[in-house]
Structure 1
Amino acid sequence: MNLSIKEVAEKFNITPYTLRYYEREGLIPSVQRKDNGRRVYTDVDLGWLQIVSCMKATGMSISYIKNYVELCTNGKDTLEERRKIMCKQKEIINEEIKKYTDLLELVDMKLDYYDEKISKDELKKIITEKKK
């Protein structure tokens, strides 16, 4: 598959500027160009973009992603180091999940409090209206 920069930008919901930036930073190792200089993205390039997008979504910095991509391009000798990077990122994600789980528990407690108060107030209102 050969896609234009516009098509790839739409597919990954990013701007063409971002794609050019990723290429300059070495996050997409070897984007081909037509004779007229326009970029042509292949399935391999889309694979790299998928990896970059995934890592960015997990909060990994551009420099960290760049290091990872460089390791990938260096072949199988870097498998252990790449695995360490993924393990570290997994720890970071798990910390974020814990943080949001704690926040969700707090929100749930507040909702329970409001539900209880609203129910008691509604009950009082009904009792007061019946007495009239």
Structure 2
Amino acid sequence: MNSKEAAEMFGLTTDTVRYYERVGVIPPIERDKNGYRIYTTRDLNWIYLAKSLRHAGVSIESLIEFATLAQLGGEVQKAQKQILQDQLQEIDEKLAEMTKTRELLRYKIDTYDEHIAKFKSGEVTAENIEELWKINYKN
């Protein structure tokens, strides 16, 4: 598979795939006798992993560290696994925060008309307005 096909497969540009290789996010790609990159299943897995982790907010630096360890060989599995575990923890924390924000938005949408009506009627004022940070949004 060539660069264009590999990039299209994952909805990336060829420039992005080549950038990933140049900075070390993915290991170097083998080339044919004419110097054209030839992507193997292993290479495609690296591209998919890099794309997925980048979309989840994983830093380029963490991806470079992970890919660099893979190229060192030897006993690097523990270090690689730790990088993955650290990234998973960060994503879990982001998901928890996003879930809380989603619940707040859902609450605001679900109660919007009611709140507006209470403000207009004077039932809710600046002095007796709810404290959003104290509300459990889950129903």
Normalising by the smaller structure, the TM-score range is 0.7 to 0.9
Asked whether the 8 Å contact 2:24–2:64 carries over to 1, the reply is yes
Q: Could you tell me which residue of structure 1 aligns to residue 69 of structure 2?
A: 71
Structure 1 letter corresponding to 2:29:
V
Q: Corresponding residue for 1:91? A: 89
Which residue in the other structure is 1:48 paired with?
Answer: 46
Query: Which segment is superposed worse, 7-16 or 82-91?
Result: 82-91
Residue 110 of structure 1, aligned match among 104, 108, 111: 108
**What is the SS of the residue equivalent to 1:40?**
coil
What RMSD in Å do the two structures reach over aligned CA positions? 2.1
User: Structure 1: 5+ residue runs without aligned partners?
Assistant: 121-132
Shift of 1:76: 4.8
CA distance in 2, matches of 1:38, 1:22: 16
Identity of aligned residues (%): 36
Unpaired stretches in structure 2, ≥5 consecutive residues? 119-139
* Rg comparison, structure with higher value: 1
Contact 2:31–2:38 (8 Å) recurs in 1: yes
Q: CA deviation at 1:75?
A: 2.9
Query: TM-score scaled by structure 2?
Result: 0.75
Residue equivalent to 1:27: 25
**Number of aligned residue pairs:** 118
**Deviations 1:32-68 (Å, cap 9, x if unpaired)?**
2222222111111112112212221221111210111
| Distance in 2, Cα, partners of 1:85 & 1:37 | 33
Any idea what the Cα deviations from partners look like across 1:60-113, whole Å, max 9, x if unmatched? 111210111111222351111112111111111111111111111111111221
- Counterpart CA distance in 2 for 1:76 and 1:115 is 62
Is the CA contact (8 Å cut-off) linking 2:26 and 2:64 kept in structure 1?
Answer: no
SS in 1 for 2:57: coil
Q: What is the letter of the counterpart of residue 95 of structure 1?
A: E
